[in-house]
Chains A and B, each alone.
Chain A
Amino acid sequence: MKPILEVRNIKKHFPIKKGLLLKEVGSVKAVDDISFEVMPGETLGLVGESGCGKSTLGRTLIRLYEPSAGQIYFKGRDFCSLSGDQLRKERKNIQMIFQDPFASLDPRMTISQILGEPLKVHGVESPSERKKKIEEIMTIVGLKSSYLNRYPHEFSGGQRQRISIARAMMLNPELVIADEPVSALDVSIQAQILNLLKDLQKEFNLTYLFISHDLSVVEHLCDRIAVMYLGKIVELAPRDKLFSNPKHPYTKALIEAIPRVGQGKKKMRQSLGGEVPSPINPPSGCHFHPRCPKKFEGCDKIYPVLQEVSQQHYVACDLYKGEQ
């Protein structure tokens, strides 16, 4: 099977400009040399703490941000070299769901306008045809078609997220990039949306790139998981391997830090000290070394390469150097 999405050494650096002449004085390395593949029909989870670059990566993949370097191949075709009409056509197949359903829907458009727009852009001229398609998708995501002429503010958070999902589904995409789609929702609503995403995937054979900071949600939904830290992937593995046998000290700490139901009141946690450093001036060598409980000599010198330690289990840590 060929990957649906191939990402090769992608970088996204935001320049920092200062002074009268806006001289470039540095850059925020939000995404720094990342490569991975997504197979058709799978859900790849992208986890990390705020500022690790996971959202920037999602947006770069769909070229909402132009990558600073690297290549993106969608179904074997170079996605970065496209422009204009070609880009629009190809983007039809890649859709995005955003985190905040209060900010991602235009408050002055009715639901039927919001859902009709992608169809209009992609050449479905007849209003009756558009209406038919809109009603069909609304039923699929669990919204009543009597809502068509309402405005976003008339809906609850969960319903709004259903509308954004419907919008992403309008053009029958193959790949959906979901950027924290449930983190703004209450737990009981979160479960409804997660189930909906699973149902849609089965019905339409969708591929998901699921961005989240919540490891329990990622564990529930994803087949493979990539853990990011300061713009880089530090570990990439199938779900079971990652959770039963995490390799990277950061992944271990992240899993350890999840508050769990039913473990009883904890007296003392083995929590990670310190905070995520600034991506403007990341630490030398392995970016994680200042917080790492297992650091040894040399960790501050060279950034470790992402290497395969067992089948499909990749980790960027020198603790596992030479293991294969």
Chain B
Amino acid sequence: MSQTETKNQSGTNRDIVVSVRNLETTFHTKVGPIKAVNGVSYDIARGETLGIVGESGCGKSVTSYSLMQLIEHPGEISGGEVILGGQDLLKLSENEMQEMRGGKMAMIFQEPMTALNPVLTVGYQMNEQIIKHMKVDEKEARERAIEMLKLVGIPSPEQRYENYPHQLSGGMRQRAMIAMALSCNPEFLIADEPTTALDVTIQAQILELIQSLQERFNMTVQFITHDLGVISEIADRVMVMYAGTTCEMAETQKLLTSPLHPYTAALIRSIPKFGSRVEKLETIEGSVPSLFELPKGCPFQNRCPNVSDKCKESKPPLEEKRPGHQVACFHPVNL
């Protein structure tokens, strides 16, 4: 039943930086508790990018917020471990966690306008973080901040340093947020839909920027998106989430070319693919089940073409069905 009993990915020795074990996040709503993240486990190696894809409500963002421990009432992390550099983050006190956030681990949010404080200048917000984590004085912090703004390709960084967030364009704000996230050399970066609010040409710039900075600092990245195209271009491995659980995990190319889970397969077929024209797009009938009324057994059963009685009885465990390719399904496709 549990998803922890998965075999380790590909036998090779990888330098694991982040290890998430059986993470559970519950929201205690008025109608009853719901598990937005329900037993998710994964590892990310140094320098690797793990992409997390899924539709709205699948728990991909809640997973990231849980790692940063930014879950607010009525939500709580109700189980599991998040191990970063040998330490279980979930056992840390709030003060210790504050040391981690923005220091060893950092996050880029989807909407830079709501993530930045509108009444403080970009420079002030950057300084605050740099002074806290790097233990430097204001002058050094300013130099560091301007250097970072320059690094992410913001023209006239000295001037931008003095600006308020609203004085920057969408793309520039996202760059400023990336600069802020990277200002204290984090080992682990979480990017939660960092390009969703941006135009394609700006998106291309930002993806390129994240990739080049990752290479430069050998950063470990968790990249959340709903866009399979973006995933294809940025991730080394991909985890597909559905209704709070992992349904498939594999190397990006393997997952996109020969998916094992019927959901992943259908998802890939349902996007209009550039250059290959079809008269009709394949659809996944129905919609994601409400987390309040999750069926017994596999959460995808009501939309699955391969559904059997077994799927309605018990939840398929996440198992390695091909080397380095895990899937939670009793009747995988393409096998």
B195, closest chain A residue (CB): A259
Give B150 Cβ to nearest chain A Cβ, in Å.
15
**Bound-complex Cα distance A156 to B267 (A):** 19
- Which of chain B's residues have a CB closer than 8 A to the CB of A104? none
**CB–CB B171/A265 < 8 A:** no
Min CB–CB distance A288 → chain B (angstroms): 11
Selected from A186, A259, A265, the residue in CB contact (under 8 A) with B203 is: A259
Identity of the chain B residue whose Cβ is nearest the Cβ of A272 in the assembled complex: B201
**Chain A residues within 8 Å of B270, by CB:** 187-188, 190-191
Return chain B residues, CB-CB under 8 Å to A158.
287
For A194, the chain B residues whose CB sits under 8 A away are: 272, 281
Give the chain A neighbours of B208 by CB distance below 8 A: 268-269, 271
Interface residues of A in 252-266 (CB under 8 A from B): 253-254, 256-266
Q: Which of A215-273 contact B (CB under 8 A)?
A: 215-217, 219-221, 243, 253-254, 256-269, 271-273
- A195 touches B (CB below 8 Å): yes
B266 lies within 8 A of A188 (CB): yes
B277 within 8 A of A: yes
Which A residue sits closest to B202, measured CB to CB?
A275
Contact with A along B252-283 (1 / 0, CB 8 A): 11001100000000111011111101111111
Are A188 and B229 closer than 8 Å at their CB atoms?
Answer: no
Whether the Cβ atoms of B236 and A265 lie closer than 8 Å is yes
- Chain B contacts with A in 267-315, Cβ cutoff 8 A: 267-268, 270-275, 277-284, 287
Q: Does A198 contact B (CB under 8 A)?
A: yes
Is B77 engaged at the interface, CB distance under 8 Å to the other chain?
no
A215/B200 in contact, CB under 8 A: yes
Residue B232 lies at the interface, judged by CB distance under 8 Å to chain A:
yes
Select which of B170, B200, B273, B287 is within 8 A of A189 by beta carbon.
Answer: B287
The one of B256, B278, B279, B287 that contacts A262, using a Cβ cutoff of 8 Å: B256
Are B199 and A50 touching (Cβ within 8 A)? yes
CB distance B204 to A269 under 8 Å? yes
Which of B201, B228, B283 meets A195, CB within 8 Å? B283
Contact of A271 among B205, B268, B283 (CB under 8 A): B205
- From B56, B205, B229, A186 is in contact (CB under 8 Å) with B56
B320 interface contact, C-beta 8 A: no
Contact residues in B for A189 (Cβ distance below 8 Å): 55, 287
Residues in A with CB closer than 8 Å to B272 are: 191, 194, 216-217, 219-221
Give the distance in Å from the alpha carbon of A198 to the alpha carbon of B279 in the complex: 9
Interface majority SS (helix, strand, loop, mixed), chain B: helix
**How near does chain A come to B232, taking the closest CB pair, in angstroms?**
5
Interface status of B149 (Cβ within 8 A of chain A): no
State which of B274, B278, B281 has its C-beta within 8 Å of the C-beta of A260.
Answer: B274
| Residues from 153 to 189 in B contacting A, C-beta threshold 8 Å | 169-172
Q: Is A28 an interface residue (CB 8 A)?
A: no
- B230: shortest Cβ distance to chain A, in Å? 5
C-alpha spacing A219/B273, complex, angstroms: 9
How far does the Cβ of A154 sit from chain B's closest Cβ, in whole Å? Answer: 12
Given A188-B284, A191-B282, A265-B252, check contact A273 B205 (CB 8 Å): yes
Q: In the complex the two chains form, is B287's CB within 8 Å of A257's CB?
A: no
Scan B201-228; emit 1 where CB is below 8 A from any A CB, else 0: 1111101100100000000000000111
Q: Is A188 touching B267 in the complex (CB atoms < 8 A)?
A: yes
CB distance from B204 to the nearest CB of A (A): 4
Instruction: Report the minimum CB–CB distance from B127 to chain A (whole Å).
Output: 26
The chain A residue sitting closest to B197, CB to CB, is: A50
| Contact B200 A49, beta carbon cutoff 8 Å | yes
* B233 in the interface (beta carbon within 8 A): yes
- Are B233 and A265 in contact, with the CB atoms below 8 A? yes
Other A-B pairs, 12, CB within 8 Å; known A187-B226, A187-B270, A198-B279: A49-B200, A49-B201, A50-B199, A188-B55, A188-B267, A190-B271, A213-B199, A260-B229, A262-B232, A265-B233, A265-B235, A272-B205
24 residue pairs from A and B, CB less than 8 Å apart: A49-B199, A186-B226, A187-B226, A187-B267, A192-B283, A194-B281, A198-B279, A198-B280, A216-B229, A219-B277, A220-B272, A220-B277, A243-B275, A258-B229, A260-B229, A261-B228, A261-B273, A264-B253, A266-B211, A269-B204, A271-B205, A271-B208, A273-B205, A275-B171
Give me the interface of A with B, judged by CB distance under 8 Å.
Answer: 49-50, 156, 158, 186-192, 194-195, 198, 213, 215-217, 219-221, 243, 253-254, 256-269, 271-273, 275-276
